[in-house]
């Protein structure tokens, strides 16, 4: 068995070129000896591919002629990759030099792991953002992050199963993708990794968190932290995920929860804060699912 199997590190750029440059400087400084980087530009307004190639001659760059969303852009890279393991990192992350070895080693040791994520900290801090999650609640459609906003003192430096993996930093063996399929593109943005997790679990694979590997996240570098577009897609896709991946009884129970609790709570919150644009986005996300009562195909 090769001690250092081939790895493709995949990232997406969309109107966040400076973040991408900083990300690449970080990635090309890692200690893992057998990797390539595949960068997909998702039809940014301005993208200087030649500048990147000058700095990193071995990089593989794919320039999409249109914005394919998170899943669509990643799927372009997946189809290009010939590596045994695929690492998906948001372009607003920064990695520690030795982050990759423990993740790959764990996947090699245990073939029942379908996906694995490292510890994720908020960029520029020692504060944890992600140390795994609880299981996804089938009635609320949510999972709670473990360790969020806790100071990292090594309390989560362990390997254990997680409810879902972290979409901004995840590693998946290529053979698993061959089995469960590409990222579902119907979501466009958010929740595609949750459905990927669901598919892997349905095939009998585990989702793991490994706290001895660390990645730093700037949080929403491309779309922005308080963008109504984020509210729209989180709402739209939360409903869509439940419709696509749960039984009739669960759908009914979830709908009761969403209608009686979530809609009034969210609406009151947006009105109270004067975030009318977010309220409109929230309603639009709900209306999209009513309009598309018949589930759309991929």
Give per-residue pLDDT as tens, 208-235.
999 999 999 998 655 666 889 999 999 9
Distance CA 71, CA 77 (A): 10
Better-predicted residue by pLDDT, 249 or 78: 78
CA 220, 221, 226, 231: dihedral to nearest 10 degrees?
-50
More confident site: 295 or 205: 205
Q: What is the pLDDT of residue 69?
A: 94
Q: Write out pLDDT tens, residues 132-169.
A: 999 988 777 778 999 999 999 999 999 999 999 999 99
pLDDT-derived band at 108, boundaries 50, 70, 90 = very high
Q: Which helix (H) or strand (E) holds 178?
A: helix 174-180
Write out the H or E segment, with its range, that includes residue 163: none
Tell whether the model's pLDDT for residue 298 goes beyond 90.
no
Render pLDDT for 173-214 as a digit per residue (tens, 0 to 9): 999 999 999 999 999 999 999 999 999 999 999 999 999 999
Most confident of 155-164, 216-225, 238-247, 248-257: 155-164
Residue 283 C-alpha from the chain's centroid = 24
Phi and psi at 7, nearest 5°, equal: -135, 135
Whole-number Cα distances in Å, 50 to 55, 56, 57, 250:
9, 10, 9, 50
DSSP state letters, 128-145: EEES-BPPPBTTTTB--B
The predicted-structure confidence for 47-79, as pLDDT tens digits, reads as follows 999 999 999 999 999 999 999 999 999 999 999
What is the reported pLDDT for 139? 73
Q: Given this model, what pLDDT does residue 80 score?
A: 97
Q: What is the pLDDT of residue 140?
A: 75
Arithmetic mean of pLDDT, 267-276: 94
Q: Which tokens belong to 273?
A: 């804060």
- Residue 124 exposed, middle or buried by CB count within 10 Å (0-12, 13-18, 19+): exposed
Q: Which two tokens stand for residue 185?
A: 């593109």
Please state the pTM of the whole predicted model.
0.93
Annotate 248-292 with three-state secondary structure: HHHHHHHHHHHHHHHHHHHHHHHHHCCCHHHHHHHHHHHHHHHHC
Q: Write down the pLDDT at residue 224.
A: 61
Residue 22 has pLDDT above 70, yes or no: yes
Beta bridge partners of 113: 206
43 φ/ψ sector (left φ>0, alpha ψ -120 to 50, else beta): left
Q: How confident is the model over 288-294, as a mean pLDDT? A: 92
pLDDT of amino acid 142: 78
Neighbours of 171 (CB within 10 A): 26
pLDDT of 18 over the 70 cut: yes
How many Cα atoms sit within 13 Å of 98 on the Cβ side? 4
The dihedral sign for the CA sequence 178, 120, 243, 276? negative
Is residue 256 predicted with pLDDT exceeding 80? Answer: yes
């Amino acid at each position: 068995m090769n001690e250092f199997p081939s790895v493709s590190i995949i990232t997406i750029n969309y109107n966040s070129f400076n973040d991408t440059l900083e990300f690449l400087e970080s990635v090309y400084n890692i200690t893992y000896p057998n990797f390539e980087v595949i960068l997909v530009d998702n039809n940014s307004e301005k993208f200087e591919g030649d500048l990147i190639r000058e700095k990193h001659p071995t990089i593989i760059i794919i320039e999409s002629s249109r914005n394919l969303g998170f899943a669509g852009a990643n799927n372009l890279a997946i189809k290009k990759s010939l590596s045994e393991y695929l690492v998906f990192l948001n372009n607003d992350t920064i990695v520690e030099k030795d982050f990759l070895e423990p993740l790959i080693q764990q996947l090699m040791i245990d073939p029942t792991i379908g996906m694995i994520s490292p510890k994720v900290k908020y960029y520029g801090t020692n504060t944890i953002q992600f140390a795994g999650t609880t299981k996804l609640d089938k009635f609320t459609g949510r999972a709670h992050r473990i360790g969020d906003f806790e100071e990292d003192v090594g309390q989560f430096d362990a390997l254990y199963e997680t409810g879902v993996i972290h979409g901004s930093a995840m590693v998946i063996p290529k053979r698993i993708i061959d089995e469960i399929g590409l990222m579902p593109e119907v979501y466009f943005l958010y929740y595609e990794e949750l459905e990927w997790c669901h598919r892997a679990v349905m095939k009998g694979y585990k989702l793991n968190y490994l706290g001895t590997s660390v990645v730093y996240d700037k949080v929403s570098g491309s779309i922005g932290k308080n963008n109504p577009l984020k509210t729209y897609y989180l709402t739209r896709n939360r409903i869509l995920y439940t419709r696509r991946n749960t039984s009739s009884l669960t759908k009914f129970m979830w709908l009761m929860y969403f209608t009686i609790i979530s809609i009034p709570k969210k609406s009151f919150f947006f009105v109270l804060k004067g975030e009318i644009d977010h309220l409109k986005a929230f309603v639009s996300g709900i209306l999209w699912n009513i309009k598309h009562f018949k589930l759309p195909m991929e």
